[in-house]
Amino acid sequence: MSHIPAPRQPTLPTDEEVKNVLDLIKAAKRLVIHVGCGIGAGGEKLVELSKKLQIPLVLTGLAKGLVPEEYEGNLGYANRAACKAADEAFAATDFVEKALELSEPAESLPSFRAVVAANKNWQEYMTKMTNRPSDPLEFDAVYKEINRIAEEDALFSIDVGDNIINSFRYLHLTPKNK
C-alpha cells in the first residue's frame, strides 16, 4: 500500500479570474515571475515568456536546474539563500505572477534592464569569489571543481545549512541533474 497521495487535478480559472489577473498585470510596473518546481520541463518556454514580456525570474530552491542559469533574466533565489539581485527585485515588485500569456512582446522595460544589470554585477562578484586564490581552500573553489568534473546527469545529495545556500549559489545544474 502506497502512502503517496494521488496527484491533484489542476483547477482552471474562470474567464473572469483571468481578466482580473490580466488587469492587475497591466497595471503593474515591476513584475517578477516566481518560479517553482511545478514548471517541470517548461524552463525553456518560461525563458521565452520572460524575454518576450521583459519580466525577470526569481526561483525557489526546488526549481534549481530547471531554468538555464546562463539566462540573464534568471536572477536566482530570494530570501535566505538569496542572490542579491533576486532579493532586490522581489522586494521591489508591485506584482508577483506565476504564469501568463500575451501575444505581443513587451518593450524593453527599464526595471527589467536594471535588475539584469544588478544580476550581472552579482554574477561577476560570484565569479571573482570562485576564482580567488585561497589558503586554506574555500568552499567556492570546491564548487568550481565540482562543476568542472560533474557528469551532465550527476546526482547530488546536499546536507542542510550553508551547504544548501552555497549549492544554490555555486552549483550549476540542468534538468538532467537530480
pLDDT tens, 6-44? 666 667 778 888 888 788 778 888 888 888 888 888 889
pLDDT value for 48: 93
Q: How many CB atoms lie within 10 A of CB 11?
A: 6
How much is the average pLDDT of 85-106?
64
How much is the average pLDDT of 124-135?
90
- Model pTM greater than 0.75? no
Q: Do 79 and 58 form a contact (C-beta atoms < 8 A)?
A: no
DSSP state letters, 110-177: HHHHHHHHHHHHHHHHHHHHHHS--SSPPHHHHHHHHHHH--TT------STHHHHHHHHH----TT-
- What percent of the chain has a predicted confidence (pLDDT) above 90? 15
Q: Compare 26 and 142 and report the one with higher pLDDT.
A: 142
